[in-house]
Amino acid sequence: MIRIALFLGTNFAILLVLGITMSIFGVEGILDEQGVNLDLYSLLFISSIIGFTGSIISLMISKWVAKKTMGVVLIEQPKNATEEWLLITLEGISEKAGIKVPEFGIFNDKQLNAFATGASKNNSLVALSSGLVNHMGKDEIEAVIAHEVSHISNGDMVTMSLIQGIVNTFVIFFSRIIGHVVDRVIFKVQRGHGPAYYITSIIAQILLSILANIIVMWFSRKREYAADSSAAELVGSSKMISALKTLSLKSRVDLPDQMAAFGISGKEERSFRSLFSSHPSIESRIDSLLKNS
């Protein structure tokens, strides 16, 4: 969840800044100012530039944002036996997965959590929470590391960025159309753009972004199953199942209601809120592993 939340938050902020900047400098003058018609091809081109720029920048700075936001302390030289074991485990799993060993760090959080991020397979970061390191057994931690390494080796962040770029493009495209129609049809602006265009476009962009996230979250849930399967191949399905069971027991209690659908336990899977959840339920993930083992 952390990886997705950081990526989406950064992407939205960059997208908003780019949109406002391009409006201020008149780049959106490609809209036909003589009537209600739009130069749709030019609008789609500009929308794709803004949309993919936002997702690509988010990808490129994802590791930096994660470190700063989560307070990740990088472990380069082990200070104790636990850190030494963690680094050795990460190196072994990375070698089996065929990727360069990622940077490794720990962030201070009582919750059992972990994430992987980075611009490419050979420029990535794996981070574990202090709660996870302190409350999981070695086999379970090994499975969590394998899961996060699998996200990297499967290229999930890059693929997520491409999907987000496409989603961004259409969100910007349709929000500008809505703003233009409201400006021309309702407020009868004949030339240029009135305040209604900018206000409506921003509101539409926010609302469409929320709806578009359903697509992104659906993809994220699919990639969780794939990462579980890859981790099972790397360290064994029994270790991965054990790790998921521990996560389920530890994470159900502490998450507040407003975050429950986004938590790793996924206990609200059949509710409407589950459409916006980055992870499927623990139960469904375990069932998937059992079926494939």
- The structure tokens 């623990």 sit at 282
Quote the CA–CA distance of 242 and 219 in Å, as a whole number. Answer: 25
Is residue 140 annotated as a catalytic residue, yes or no?
no
Closest by Cα among 260, 267, 259 to 284: 267
Given 148, 224, 268, 283, the catalytic residue? 148
How far apart are the C-alpha atoms of 140 and 144, rounded to whole Å? 6
From 130, 125, 149, select the one nearest 234 (Cα to Cα). Answer: 149
Q: 88 CB contacts (<8 Å, ≥6 apart)? A: none
CA atoms of 33 and 154, how far apart (whole Å): 46
What 3-state DSSP class applies to 80? coil
| DSSP state string for 25-66 | TTGGGGS-TTSS---HHHHHHHHHHHHHHHHHHHHHTHHHHH
Instruction: List 128's β-bridge partners, or say none.
Output: 106, 114
Length of the chain (residues)? 293
Q: What residues are annotated to the active site?
A: 148
